[in-house]
Amino acid sequence: MLKSPELPDCFYQNQPSLICPSSPTPKHSLYLSNLDDQKFLRFSIKYLYLFKKSTSLDILKHSLSKVLVHYYPLAGRLRASTEADQKLEIDCNGEGAVFAEAFMDITAEEFLELSQKPNKSWRKLMYKVEAQSFLDIPPLVVQVTSLRCGGMIVCTAINHCVCDGIGTSQFLHAWAQITTKPHIDLTIMPLHTRHVLKPRNPSEISFTHPEYVRNATRENGHLDINHFLQSQPLVPTSLTFTNSHIIHLKRQCVPSLKCTAFEALASHTWRSWVRALDLSPSLNVKLLFSVNVRRRLIPEIPQGYYGNGFVLGCAQTCAQDLVARNMSHGVRSVQQAKSSLTDDYVRSMIDLLEDKSVKTDLSTSLVISQWSKLGLEDVDFGDGKPLHMGPLTSDIYCLFLPVIGDLEAVRVQVSMPESVHEKFEYYMKECLGAEASGWDDNIGYHAQENGFC
């Protein structure tokens, strides 16, 4: 297997600075909901944006200080709650976000060419905060890396306990808006309170919730695919599905079943993952996928809510049925999981999460998070939309990513064990038949769309 090209080192002329809100902000503790402070989400979402032209660092820092007046919890610090065991809250103290400035001796065109899939050297593009624990890392860390010939890479690490994907997109668009139109009110004002998702008293856990498992109920010798995957040498796989590919997948379900693009692609990816890992036919396998519930709740969560307003839908079936039957079986499982996410179900889930021995069941699960359709690829700091937008690293959790220049396409990225990654890619392409001709194995970068041809 060819080794991924290494990026050159970053050069830091100055120590990172703390960017504080430009005017006084409220000082208080911000309650985090049970959806916010799940242990499954105690990490930072790390985005990488590549721009052909750079924006002044002074302008970016100034606009960041302005937007942090509105999103002041991101300038605070996480801490253990004083009111509940094992629960987190935000100390809104205005301490500031970390902002690092760097230079890398590479052009935007070379970055696209050399780094077709994320590798460990991409981590150079995000300043590493030295911290003893997750709580010691500021909720927002930014590194802007200037490139040779005028481009720039903007990387952000945003604490997932503070924002979900919709929330991070809302924040990044607000930062970009203040950068380009500083005298115009924000299009969407942030809603800080998380009490709309408070658990009920007394709790009403009226569903079984297969998305979760209690620590005490896990049997000795229980198969844990997640643990196995983490122990293996992993290889990032990244495949772009065009609209014609997705239509071809959906046609395999008609006329008996109508489905969305997400349902078809999620089911296909799940099935390919199970086949590649050659799991036991009798094993109960799960697909956990993010679902925005802001409009599923009664009453709906108001616009501007940037906390975690998503839950994990859980499709499950035995491996044999998923693999041996046609694609409709997996699609139906996904649809059933989505339809179960009613207001009652989500409220029951929030109540369940009061029990801190409950955790996300990753043991036999593929997790899919959808970054496409969030508008992340449209962030513009004034000199044009990004040439590339995606994660800083690849992981065993699968991402559905936007493709720059093609609103209907989806890039599927997930890390697989080195021993099976080629098999996984084969299964992902196999059922497309003639539609797989002209397949783009390279992550979906199109030089013509990016203006380099």
Q: What CA–CA distance (Å, rounded) separates 271 from 370? A: 17
Concatenated DSSP letters for 136-170?
GS-SEEEEEEEEGGG-EEEEEEEETTT--HHHHHH
**Is residue 160 among the annotated active site residues?**
yes
From the candidates 91, 224, 355, 380, give the one annotated as an active-site residue: 380
From the candidates 36, 37, 70, 160, give the one annotated as an active-site residue: 160
Q: Residues 76, 93: contact at Cβ < 8 Å?
A: yes
Six token digits for residue 318 = 């035995």
Contacts 24+ apart (CB under 8 A), 265-269: 265/241, 265/400, 265/410, 265/412, 266/334, 266/368, 266/400, 267/315, 267/327, 267/330, 267/331, 267/333, 267/334, 268/327, 268/330, 268/428, 268/431, 269/366, 269/368, 269/398, 269/412, 269/414, 269/428
- Length, in residues, of the chain: 453
Q: What CA–CA distance (Å, rounded) separates 337 from 135? A: 33
Q: What CA–CA distance (Å, rounded) separates 453 from 449? A: 8
**Is residue 268 among the annotated active site residues?**
no
Which residue's entry shows tokens 């049997």? 219
Annotated catalytic residues are: 160, 380
